Amino acid sequence: MRRRTATPPGRLRLLSIIVTVGLLVLWVAAFTTVRARQQALHSLRTDSGPSLIAAQSLHADLSAADAAAARAFLAGGVEPPDQRAAYQRAIADASERIVDLARAGGPREPLTVLTERLPVYTGEVERARANNRLGLVVGGAYQRAASSLMQGTILPAADRLAAAAADRIDRDYRQASRAYHPVVVAVAGLATLAVLIALQIRLFRRTNRILNPALVAATLLATIALGWTIAAFGVQRARLLDSRDDGYVPMTMTAQARVLALRAWGDESLSLISRGNGADLDADADAVSARLGYDPQARPTRTGLLATTAALPGPDRPARDALAPAWQAYQASAARVRALVAEVGGFQQAVALAQGGGTDAFRRFDTASTVVFDASRGRFEQRLAAADDALDTLPLAVTAALLFAAALALVGIQLRINDYR
């Protein structure tokens, strides 16, 4: 080895090996970090992201089904067709989402609970309907039992699915934006450029100040590969943060608000079904309203989920601002319903208000929250796609640039070696 490097051609051959190894290290650093980010983005777009959306939608569908079943029962023996249709649609949608989550490989335990207990729930609801049509008081007991099964067993299983998907999203977000990725590429790139520049300075001094065009081109290509990779990482990370801040966060918070609202709406129906024996349901509705940011008299508390959601920055803020007034309108109706129940002879008025103005007010809130959720979901998916696009051609471009750089570097050094022959 020492004899081979004792002559200028031998030393140049050694330098050509060092340059080639440096370019190879830069390629490995860039390619592996880019692929790691692409794989995390692919998981976000095709696995963890859709799983979270499906789990959140499943929770909302189940909550909507429970609330619709209670509201339809409240109408008496002849159910309003729209309320019955809403219940059936929510159950059908929930069943489809359970199948989708099972295909996606969701956690086995909560999926087992859902597939086993949801038919039991629907059976309880049908028994409640049958007894309600006959005017039997036991129908209310079946309806409350169904709701207890939903709130105590089925919805917690859906929560576990959503939590598992959220954990995977957090993992994928971290993997797609690792801080050390650009550092590794920068260190490898700067070291390689330092070798190339040092080699050119050496040759420049030994060739009477004549530049080596091939080595200059190789250096430019390596610089382009390094700069392109670092810039693409920056663009991808910015778009990824946009998907989180303008999509994932408001989408998740809006889904939580809608589920809480559906729970309070269902509590109101079940409390009326209990005919004055629903103190525990009223207390639960008050607790839910407090989490949303309102007291039982519909006064805002300036804290709570709706206020936090409205305060989030982003393009959907005007739509999110509409959620609080819509909920306040429903909450005012719910407070009036409760006051009528407490009055002598006011029960039928309370039921009429709940079925009429109260239902209309809640549907306005539910529609508004669905609009916000869909918009946030769309932005979440669009920003993820944009983040993925930032890295789309990078592996091929970096590979081509560094391959040409290595070839040019070898050609440039070989031309100098040929001068010694």
Question: What's the alpha-carbon Rg for the chain, to the nearest Å?
Answer: 32
pLDDT in tens, 262-287: 999 999 999 888 876 778 888 999 99
Please report, as a single letter, which amino acid is at residue 201: I
pLDDT of 78 reads 75
SS3 string of the chain? CCCCCCCHHHHHHHHHHHHHHHHHHHHHHHHHHHHHHHHHHHHHHHHHHHHHHHHHHHHHHHHHHHHHHHHHHHCCCCCCHHHHHHHHHHHHHHHHHHHHHHHCCCCHHHHHHHHHHHHHHHHHHHHHHHHHHCCCCHHHHHHHHHHHHHHHHHHHHHHHHHHHHHHHHHHHHHHHCCCHHHHHHHHHHHHHHHHHHHHHHHHHHHCCCCCCHHHHHHHHHHHHHHHHHHHHHHHHHHHHHHHHHHHHHHHHHHHHHHHHHHHHHHHHHHHHHCCCCCHHHHHHHHHHHHHHCECCCCCECCCCHHHHHHHCCCCCHHHHHCHHHHHHHHHHHHHHHHHHHHCCCCHHHHHHHHHHHHHHHHHHHHHHHHHHHHHHHHHHHHHHHHHHHHCCCHHHHHHHHHHHHHHHHHHHHHHHHHCCC
pLDDT in tens, 23-54: 999 999 999 999 999 999 999 999 999 999 99
Mean pLDDT (the chain) is 90
pLDDT in tens, 353-368: 998 999 999 999 999 9
Please report, as a single letter, which amino acid is at residue 156: P
How many CB atoms sit inside 10 A of residue 364's CB? 16
pTM higher than 0.75, yes or no?
yes
User: Considering the domain boundaries, does residue 1 fall inside one?
Assistant: no
| Residue 143 CA: distances (Å) to CA of 111, 132, 171, 270, 273 | 24, 10, 40, 8, 9
Out of 158-162, 198-202, 304-308, 402-406, pick the least confident.
Answer: 198-202
pLDDT in tens, 62-109: 999 999 999 988 887 777 888 889 999 999 999 999 999 998 887 899
Between CA 114 and CA 183 the distance in angstroms is 46
Q: Cα angle at 279 between 268 and 309, to 5 degrees? A: 50
pLDDT of 276 reads 65
Orientation angle between helical segments 249-273 and 279-292, nearest 10 degrees: 160
Q: How many domains does the chain have?
A: 1
pLDDT of 161 reads 94
User: Considering the domain boundaries, does residue 3 fall inside one?
Assistant: no
User: Considering the domain boundaries, does residue 77 fall inside one?
Assistant: yes
- Whether the CB-CB separation of 40 and 172 falls below 8 Å is answered with yes
pLDDT of 413 reads 82
pLDDT of 209 reads 60
User: Considering the domain boundaries, does residue 8 fall inside one?
Assistant: no
Proportion of the chain above pLDDT 90, given as a percent: 68
User: Considering the domain boundaries, does residue 320 fall inside one?
Assistant: yes
Confidence of residue 3 (pLDDT cuts 50, 70, 90): low
Between CA 187 and CA 26 the distance in angstroms is 9
pLDDT in tens, 330-343: 999 999 999 898 88
Residue ranges making up the domain that contains 142: 15-418
Out of 148-157, 232-241, 309-318, pick the least confident.
Answer: 309-318
User: Considering the domain boundaries, does residue 2 fall inside one?
Assistant: no
Orientation angle between helical segments 8-43 and 359-390, nearest 10 degrees: 170
The average pLDDT across 203-226 equals: 85
pLDDT of 317 reads 87
pLDDT of 16 reads 82
Is the model's pLDDT at 192 over the cut of 60?
yes
pLDDT in tens, 371-400: 999 999 999 999 999 999 999 999 999 999
User: Considering the domain boundaries, does residue 142 fall inside one?
Assistant: yes
Selected residue with higher pLDDT from 402 and 13: 402
